[in-house]
């Protein structure tokens, strides 16, 4: 694979990581009376983590 593909996948994984971190930080600012919102945000955070892991995996595969 080309190094461009690997680099783009790495950059995407980094961006997803930053978004996941932002969502996680926002969860901490929500009060206890918003359980549905907190639940949805945790689910989004988990999905972002999964996307990040898949992008890292794809990046490694692109390098081989």
The pLDDT tens digits of the residues spanning 2-48 come to 889 999 999 999 999 999 999 999 999 998 899 999 999 999 999 99
Give the pLDDT band (50/70/90) at residue 1.
low
What does the alpha-carbon distance between residue 62 and residue 26 come to, in Å, rounded to a whole number?
A: 33
CA distance 52 to 54: 5
**Angular region, 9: left φ>0, alpha ψ -120 to 50, beta rest:** alpha
The CA distance from 28 to 32, in Å, is 10
């Amino acid at each position: 694979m080309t190094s461009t593909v690997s680099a783009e996948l790495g950059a995407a994984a980094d961006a997803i990581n930053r978004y996941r971190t932002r969502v996680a930080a926002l969860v901490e600012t929500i009060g206890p009376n918003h359980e549905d919102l907190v639940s949805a945000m945790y689910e989004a955070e988990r999905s972002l983590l999964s996307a990040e892991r898949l992008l890292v995996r794809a990046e490694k595969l692109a390098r081989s």
